[in-house]
Homo-oligomer: A and B are copies of this chain.
Amino acid sequence: MRIGELSRATGVAVPTIKYYVREGLLPAGRLTSPNQARYDDGHVRRLRLIRGLMDVGGLSVAAVREVLAAVDSPQEPVHKVLGAAQLAITPPPAVTPDGMEAARGKVAEIIRRRGWRVGGDNPAVETLAVALATFEGIGHGEFEEVVDDYAAACERVAEADLAWVGRNAEVDGLVESVVVGTVLGDAVLTAMRRLAHVDASARRYEQGDGGPAGATGTP
């Protein structure tokens, strides 16, 4: 198809498509004349992936380039590929609030308690420490009381994610599944957490007020 058809198929404007080609996010089309290139279904899919990572995942052009580099360069073994893809989409935190030493100790203790096989150099370790130090710094250190609930919930999600990635590996490529599932999965998880909050709040504070029959245990 021509670039105009690619634009109509994906809803991405022609100048934006050209920009992605210049930035190395999208492979150039196949030249059929000096001024004309042809694109195929692979371009449609790649464009949708780029927009999904940006619009839903909130990734920058630079981050999308990193992620696509991981998608396009699978290596062995599987566990290392997953690690590389994860690193590309998990920037280290930009700040170091007060109390980081204590917070890092708490994260190490959580990892030990859960029995997680995680290297201390994983950027998510530092991100988690920054979040806990921030809770502490603004007087909400008692958030620690619920971290094990968070951890158990994440274990369940991770198990489901890995099972999904494993099933999906033959279809579209393992690394792309990991990247897509991680970035878009974050969006799903935070959106669902909002909805579950509304429901939990309704159950806790609105008992018997407008809920579905049976939800409150009264006839």
**Chain A interface residue count, Cβ-Cβ cutoff 8 angstroms:** 100
Q: A72 interface residue, CB < 8 Å from B?
A: no
Q: Contact string, A22-42, partner B, CB cutoff 8 A, digits 1/0? A: 000000000000000000000
A binding-site residues for B, Cβ under 8 Å: 11, 45, 48-49, 51-52, 55-56, 58, 77-79, 82-83, 86, 90, 93-95, 97-98, 111, 114-119, 122-125, 127-128, 130-132, 134-135, 137-140, 142-143, 145-147, 149-164, 166-168, 171-172, 177, 180-182, 184-206, 210-212, 215
A193 to chain B, nearest CB (A): 5
Chain B residues with Cβ below 8 Å from A82 are 197-198, 201, 205
Contact B146 A161 (CB under 8 A): yes
| B192 adjacent to A164 (CB under 8 Å) | no
B49, B131, B153, B212: the one contacting A138 at CB < 8 Å is B49
Using known A-B contacts A111-B195, A154-B195, determine if residue A140 contacts B180 with beta carbons closer than 8 Å.
yes
Rounded to whole angstroms, the CA-CA distance of A122 and B196 in the bound complex is 12
Given the known interface contacts A79-B206, A82-B201, A199-B117, the answer about A90 and B160 at a Cβ–Cβ threshold of 8 Å is: no
In the bound complex, do residue A135 and residue B191 qualify as a contact, i.e. CB atoms below 8 Å apart? no
B192 touches A150 (CB 8 A): yes
